[in-house]
Amino acid sequence: MTETGLTVEREEKVPLDGDIQTILSVKFPIKDADGVIVGMCGISTDITERIEVERRIQESQALLQAVIDNTTAMVYTKDPDGRFTLVNKALTESSGIERDEWLNSTVYDLFPAEIAQPMATNDQEVIDLGKFVEKEESSPHQGKIHHFFSVKFPLYDAEGEISGICGMSTDITHIKEAEQEIKESQAALQEEQRLKSIALSAASISFWSTDILTDTPFWDESMWGIFGYLEGTEPSTEVWESAIHPDDRDRVTRAYTDAINRKKEFSIEYRVIRPVDDGIRYVRDVAQIDRNDKGEAIKIAGVVHDVTKLRVEQEKIRQLFDAPTDGVLFVRDGHILECNRAVAAMLGYEIEELVGKSLIDLSPEEQMDGRLSREVIKEHLHQVSRGEIVRFRWHHLRKDGSLIPMEIVIFAATHEGKPAILGTLRDITTLQAAIDEANKANATKSAFLANMSHEIRTPMNAILGFAEILSEQVDHPVHSQYLTTIRSSGRALLTLINDILDLSKVEAGKVSLQPRAVDLPKLFLDIEQVFLQKTREKGIDLRFQIGEHLPEALILDDVRVRQIMINIIGNAVKFTDDGYVAVSLHNAQSDIDQSKVDIIIKVKDTGIGIPKEDQKHIFKAFEQQSQQSNAKYGGTGLGLAITLKLIKMMNGEIELESEEGEGSVFTIRLNRVATAAMIDDESDRLGGIDPNSLVFEPASILIVDDISVNRDLVRSYLETYDFSLREAENGQIALDLIEEEQPALVFMDMKMPVMDGYEATTEIKKREDWKDVVVVALTASTMAQREAEIRLVTDDYLRKPVSRNELIGTMMRYLPNSLEESAILPQTQTAQQSSGPLVERSFVEDGKRDELQALLEKELDLVAELLHDQTINEIEDFGYRMAKLGDSFNHEPLNDWGERLASQAMLFQIDEMLNTLSSYNSVLEELNSHG
């Protein structure tokens, strides 16, 4: 100092009163006016206590850093500008970013903006609110996004101003992943339930610490929620202990004391009674203890997890495991680890006997399907190893050697922390017996229905057949109407039996669709004709609206579509006594060039409506609405049940909107219906040829049927042709007759006494010398399996009742024939003749001719509308009105034209009617030509 002239500071150890004290000496030179050192001044201060305080601060900081660096949570602090001022070891290891890179950096310096922005927003929220917050945050690490549960709270300086924030983050990525796996696997497994509980209660993970030296605790905000204390309660060891369930308190405090004094791990589960609501929570408490160089505990810090949900789920699983009816067991490597009493009771063992037993030892060598039990078990275990949930039927071997049928579900699980398989077993002995009984009853029902169908179709064949023959020979309108009624009633009876059979087939899965190209608008116009007469009789309107954007043809089963529409429209007409029934058909898309379209069909009526409580029942078999009078409306209650099932088979759905007394709307949507170009309709076996114009070469025909009236019907159909007809009552007589004289064609009934048609046909086909004999099945059977068998041995197949056209059309395929000059059915020709030049006679007075012409010209728009809409009853009314107009003006051609149009409409002669209506301009031209 005397040499340099500088002030010198020095700490010195000085013995004082038997102790060593630390003295801080400050010495500086004293100079005269010329700056020459003339002396020295020294100041000594005892800084022993300050040194001790600094030492303790350093130790506390080291302790804090040790706690921070040894906790699994990621701990960090930031200044108000968001720069990191402290990070712990867990954060650097988790992120892969070195401590030096963290310090003095912001999240925007370290992460992309989309990651950094939420973190910065959360930090700002802490500063703005000045209180603790909990958030879930995300950041990238090693190529994947990690999820964190972050607890952040403000730091304050000596003046009480916020000087930064402190955050603690726990990596919950594994919890998030476990939660997703649980949702996907749908497995209620014990280990997965633990993870699910943790995932659901992630916000209930709380941090706490206690300075043991000062007994100063710290709780984060979530601790209050778990322990049920109101915020503001001063945390203390006493407060914590008072919340512990009395039955657990001694155990927990002893574990806490042992952890501090005996250096044992503090990891314990206990119950908490929440003062706020007296609710009980289960918590898991895990902590680490910081010790000084002497091994003395100076601080303890830990986390509390609320595991209440996990315990509840475990209790549910335990209750399930102990269920008295369903068996539950754990299996590993094909051996039973644990099972409940129900399993033991089913198999006739004690629980202790089953533990360790092999599944193979509890199974017969083969299952009922002939497969080896060992191989099936191996296959199922492999499926479970792939994460599948496997459900199957199984026969187990009881202790007494008897077999017990079971329904089993197995899936992956854990047992005592190790992979295993959890299985549930249900005794289905009663169920199996019920199934067997149901199958037997179903077989009986099918046989009954088949026989009933045959018995009904056989006489109906004669009724409808002879009615058809008579209709061609009777001219009297009333008698013709009688025949029409007979035929329609017969068809109604057939519809009834078909409904019953259809429902049986649909429910048994034995109905298959036969899709083909269908002109849907034309089909709907045909359906319209079916109901016109009935709606006219009831005095209600029948309205059909066909959309403009329908494809030329759709690939559908036209028979089933017709069946659906007749069921629904028939119901609408039946239950509507006033107003109208409106049917609309349109394409849900406006583009008709698509390969597949959605078809929307609506049937709306103003009938009695359907009560809300009945709407969910009407699509069930044999169900009718509760207030429906069966005496008034009739019906089997099968139509809508069949309709619903058929629509579903067509990839469609049906909706119902109805209010009692306000009518109903049925909406059918057929989804993704394929489109096609229209082809010629081949459903008519005659192909449009008039059977009376056919000329068959002479041939021998054998008619085989045990019912004489059926033979008479076929004979009546064929009597106009040059055939030699013979008859046989059963298959044996048929074989004898063929032996005498070989026929060209045999009509063979299938169900006959002595020898049935199937056996007889089989015998015919065996004979090489009879190989040219054509056998056409003519049967009332409706069973699909039977039909397939018959088709294998016969040349063709016809189902009773059969029409003359069907019969003759089939014969055309096998017997030589030719056509007379006029071979095509005369409908078109007749229509053309009907619509040709009118008879040239008119007695209209010259003064009234212009008046009549003006009246007729006013009807041109209506005629165009009628041609477009083709509403039969309106056309019929128009015809009668024109006939009356012609009569009033003494104009016979108009009178004749109107009566012809009305008659064609009334008789449903659609083609002739439209041709006549199209010739309306001829009426005007004829009138003008005589002007």
Q: How would DSSP label each residue in 851-902?
A: HHHHHHHHTHHHHHHHHHH--HHHHHHHHHHHHHHHHHTT-HHHHHHHHHHH
Secondary structure of residue 100 in the 3-state scheme:
helix
- What CATH number should be reported for the domain holding residue 638? 3.30.565.10
The verdict on 540 and 669 lying in the same domain is yes
Q: Is 672 left (phi over 0), alpha (psi -120 to 50) or beta?
A: left
Residue 175 has pLDDT above 90, yes or no: no
- Arithmetic mean of pLDDT, 64-84: 85
- What CATH number should be reported for the domain holding residue 695? 3.40.50.2300
C-alpha span between 307 and 287 (Å, rounded): 16
Write the DSSP symbol of residue 513. -
The vertex-360 CA angle with 356 and 364, nearest 5°, equals 135
Provide the percentage of residues in the chain whose pLDDT is more than 70. 82
The verdict on 536 and 662 lying in the same domain is yes
Write the DSSP symbol of residue 234. P
- List pLDDT tens digits, range 232-286: 778 888 888 999 999 999 999 999 998 888 877 889 999 999 888 888 989 999 9
The DSSP annotation for 420-466 comes to: EEEEEEEE-HHHHHHHHHHHHHHHHHHHHHHHHHHHHHHHHHHHHHH
Give me the number of domains the chain comprises.
Answer: 7
C-alpha span between 98 and 56 (Å, rounded): 29
| Amino acid found at 168 | M
Is 175 in contact with 305 (CB distance < 8 Å)?
no
Residue 498 has pLDDT above 90, yes or no: no
- Residue 304: both structure tokens together: 């509390």
Query: For residue 635, what pLDDT is reported?
Result: 46
C-alpha span between 569 and 523 (Å, rounded): 14
Residue 592 has pLDDT above 80, yes or no: no
The more confidently predicted of residues 288 and 459 is 288
State whether the Cα torsion 514-520-522-525 is positive or negative. positive
C-alpha span between 388 and 376 (Å, rounded): 15
Residue 267 lies in a domain: yes
- What CATH number should be reported for the domain holding residue 382? 3.30.450.20
The verdict on 667 and 723 lying in the same domain is no
Q: Is 502 exposed, middle or buried (0-12, 13-18, 19+ CB in 10 A)?
A: buried
- List pLDDT tens digits, range 251-260: 999 999 988 8
Q: Kindly report which listed range (435-449, 662-676, 840-854) carries the lowest average pLDDT score.
A: 840-854
State whether the Cα torsion 101-107-110-115 is positive or negative. positive
Query: For residue 764, what pLDDT is reported?
Result: 95
| Amino acid found at 43 | I
| Predicted model pTM | 0.33
Q: How far is CA 75 from the centre of its chain?
A: 49
C-alpha span between 697 and 714 (Å, rounded): 18
Residue 490 lies in a domain: no
Among candidate residues 407, 427, 447, the one where a domain is terminated: 427
Query: For residue 590, what pLDDT is reported?
Result: 62
C-alpha span between 608 and 658 (Å, rounded): 9
Is 915 in contact with 833 (CB distance < 8 Å)?
no
Q: Kindly report which listed range (220-224, 257-261, 279-283, 681-685) carries the lowest average pLDDT score.
A: 681-685
The more confidently predicted of residues 710 and 780 is 710
C-alpha span between 317 and 307 (Å, rounded): 15
C-alpha span between 439 and 804 (Å, rounded): 40
C-alpha span between 778 and 707 (Å, rounded): 12
The verdict on 831 and 812 lying in the same domain is no
Q: For the chain, what is the mean pLDDT?
A: 81
| Amino acid found at 795 | D
Residue 450 lies in a domain: no
Residue 443 lies in a domain: no
Among candidate residues 770, 786, 819, the one where a domain is terminated: 819
The verdict on 703 and 757 lying in the same domain is yes
* Cα–Cα distances in angstroms (integers) from residue 58 to residues 51, 64, 615, in the given order: 10, 10, 82
The verdict on 293 and 353 lying in the same domain is no
> Which of 503, 501, 505 minimizes the C-alpha distance to 493?
501
* pLDDT band with cut points at 50, 70 and 90 for residue 578: very high
The verdict on 537 and 669 lying in the same domain is yes
Q: Kindly report which listed range (520-529, 679-688, 699-708) carries the lowest average pLDDT score.
A: 679-688
**DSSP β-bridge partners for residue 665:** 604, 657
Residue 77 lies in a domain: yes
Secondary structure of residue 251 in the 3-state scheme:
helix
Write the DSSP symbol of residue 752. -
SS (H, E, C) 119-170: HHHHHHHHHHHCCCEEEEEEEEECCEEEEEEEEEEEEECCCCCEEEEEEEEE
The DSSP annotation for 349-370 comes to: --HHHHTT-BTGGGS-SB-TTS
- Arithmetic mean of pLDDT, 608-627: 69
The verdict on 566 and 657 lying in the same domain is yes
The verdict on 813 and 720 lying in the same domain is yes
The verdict on 209 and 297 lying in the same domain is yes
- Residue 206: both structure tokens together: 């709380």
Interstrand relation of 699-704 and 723-728 (parallel, antiparallel or unpaired): parallel
Q: How far is CA 430 from the centre of its chain?
A: 31
Among candidate residues 371, 406, 427, the one where a domain is terminated: 427
Residue 839 has pLDDT above 50, yes or no: no
> Which of 723, 926, 768 minimizes the C-alpha distance to 841?
926
* pLDDT band with cut points at 50, 70 and 90 for residue 116: very high
Residue 192 lies in a domain: no
* pLDDT band with cut points at 50, 70 and 90 for residue 626: very low
Residue 150 lies in a domain: yes
Secondary structure of residue 545 in the 3-state scheme:
strand
- What CATH number should be reported for the domain holding residue 847? 1.20.120
Buried/exposed code over 552-588 (b: 16+ C-beta within 10 A; e: otherwise): ebbebbbebbbbbbbbbbbbbbbbbeeebbbbbbbbe
The verdict on 155 and 255 lying in the same domain is no
Residue 478 lies in a domain: no
Query: For residue 486, what pLDDT is reported?
Result: 78
Containing structural domain, residue 417: 324-427
C-alpha span between 183 and 483 (Å, rounded): 68
The verdict on 702 and 626 lying in the same domain is no
Interstrand relation of 774-779 and 745-748 (parallel, antiparallel or unpaired): parallel
C-alpha span between 908 and 39 (Å, rounded): 143
Q: What H or E segment, with its residue span, contains residue 761?
A: helix 757-766
Beta carbons within 8 Å of 544's beta carbon, 6+ residues apart? 524, 525, 528, 582, 583, 584, 585, 869, 871
